Amino acid sequence: LARIAEADQQVHSFLEVTEQMALAAAAQVDKAIAVGTFGEMGILAGVPVAFKDNMNLEGTRTTCSSRMLENYVSPYTATCVEKCLQAGALPMGKLNMDEFAFGSSTETSAFGPTRNPWDLQRVPGGSSGGSAAAVAAGLVCATLGSDTGGSIRQPGAFCGVVGLKPTYGTVSRYGVVAFGSSLDQVGPFTRSVEDAALMMNVLAGRDPLDCTSQPCSADFTANLAEGVRGMRIGVVPEFMEAKGLTDEVRQKVADAIKQVEALGAQLVEIDLPHARAAMSAYYVLGPSEAFSNLARFDSVRYGYCDPGHTDLGSQYDASRAVGFGAEAKRRIMLGSYLLSAGVYDKYYYPAQQVRTLITQDYQQAYEKVDCILTPVAPRTAFKFGEIGDPTEMYLSDMFTISINIAGNGGMSMPVGLGEASGMPVGVQLISPAFHDANMLRVAAALE
């Protein structure tokens, strides 16, 4: 708590520190130690953990970094948060993010940006920027983030920590404010691969409250020590030659590829011919789902209510005008256009077809490889305000988005500092659906 109070004045990763809850949970751990039952507690007993502010924790605010939900106090706890509490974690608080998870820099938060602990002039990435920065600054041992198009992996890379987006359906989304329901997935940020695997053991599994969640009995730590000898690792030449990929990132990723080969893995060149359409498909599907999901923030069912209106229409208009920031409005307007009559057939339907093609690309690749290794983001953390154009910001996710579209697992693994910027670089490891242990195994070998 003292470390958060001191260091977070500069980093601003926390929106709320839940001091009383953390102390109460710590008292339970102390008590268990005193009476000799500590061994019966869960794997996270006494471990400080914090949560992205789109996850409900009963009795605390869930703001999604939006004025719209500034005063929303959650009446219940999300399954992913509950599982951490059940495992004995100390809930330290709620973490900053891009508003409603729209963004790649945490600059769209209504409550001010989070700063990158490696260089306070630079962004931590986003949308789970607070979750990545809190771990990088050593404020907590693990955090939860959510990833719709790259929001765990890209900030993981920018802050030099492990960030894992599990296969869609591995972790329950119940109690997590929805952005794109068919793309969203919750996952951990940690400082080590083993910690990420332990967090996955806590988080994974079927939840009757989320019909897309799947049963899971895997032990994610089981083959961390096996090494990569004999594994077939896919590399994607098109990604390595992509326009916009900086030399320092290309260099580090090439080094990691050489390293896994030196450790005995077999490199296999693969082709993901439709991956280049992933960005276009995502910016149809994502905003369409967001438009639908954000309809509930209408000042009546949920959210800020602008006072003094005498008819419902003007109350809706004024409340949403004040409550939502610019990027949220952009997504809502885009989604509402894309789903309107006459337009729907031209964009939404083809985007779903592209989705099938991308999924098939990955399925074919996984006949030849056990894991794929690519860059996470085209560049290292940029300076505040450096990227002003929204479409340029969207390119931050050029290597991560196709994985959400296909639904398989992806993670970001730090591999050192870029030569030019001196900032952390991550490589992305991608696994076949429900074989997330494969990528953890490769990550452990690179550690």
- Residue ranges binding ligand GLN (CB under 6 A): 101-104, 127, 147-151, 179, 286, 397
- Shortest distance, CB of residue 150 to ligand GLN, whole angstroms? 5
Ranked by CB distance to ligand GLN, the top (closest) residue is: 151
CA end-to-end span of the chain: 29
- What's at 70, amino acid-wise? E
CB 407 within 8 A of CB 187: no
110 burial type by CB count under 10 A (0-12 exposed, 13-18 middle, 19+ buried): buried
- Shortest spacing between CB 354 and ligand GLN, in angstroms: 17
Instruction: Give the residue from 385, 349, 352 showing the smallest Cα distance to 108.
Output: 385
Kindly tell me which of 335 and 418 has the beta carbon lying closer to ligand GLN.
335
Query: Smallest distance from the beta carbon of 187 to ligand GLN, in angstroms?
Result: 11
User: Do the beta carbons of residue 118 and residue 365 sit within 8 Å?
Assistant: no
Taking the complex as a whole, how short is the minimal distance between the CB of residue 103 and ligand GLN, in angstroms? Answer: 5
DSSP 305: -
| C-alpha to C-alpha distance for 69 and 397, rounded to whole angstroms | 26
The two three-digit tokens of residue 271, written as one number: 């082709």
Nearest CA to 62 out of 75, 79, 80, 47 is that of 75
Here the tokens at position 116 are: 């990158």
Compute φ and ψ for 189, nearest 5 degrees.
-115, 135
Per DSSP bridges, beta strands 409-417 and 162-165 are antiparallel
Per-residue DSSP letter, 396: G
Which is closer to ligand GLN, CB of 103 or CB of 160?
Answer: 103
CA distance 69 to 72: 5
Closer by beta carbon to ligand GLN, 286 or else 432: 286
Nearer of residues 103 and 117 to ligand GLN, judged by Cβ: 103
Q: How far is the CB of 284 from ligand GLN (least distance, A)?
A: 12
The answer to whether the beta carbons of residues 436 and 164 sit under 8 Å apart is: yes
Q: Is 420 helix (H, G, I), strand (E, B) or coil?
A: coil
Cβ-based nearer residue to ligand GLN, 103 or 409: 103
Given phi > 0 = left and psi -120 to 50 = alpha, else beta, which region is 384?
A: beta
Residue 64 to residue 405: CA distance in whole angstroms: 23
Query: Shortest gap between Cβ of 149 and ligand GLN (angstroms)?
Result: 3
Our CB check for ligand GLN shows the closer of 48 and 188 to be: 188
* CB nearer ligand GLN, residue 179 or residue 382: 179
Omega cis (within 30) before 172: no
C-beta of 221 vs 380, nearer to ligand GLN: 380
- Catalytic residue IDs: 52, 127, 151
How is residue 134 written in tokens?
A: 């809190």
Least separation in angstroms between residue 437's CB and ligand GLN is 23
Let me know: does 313 contact 300? Beta carbons within 8 Å: no
**Spatial distance between the Cα atoms of 261 and 255, rounded to a whole number of angstroms:** 10
| Least distance (Å) between residue 326 CB and ligand GLN | 13
Rounded-to-integer distance, Cα 156 and Cα 425, Å: 9
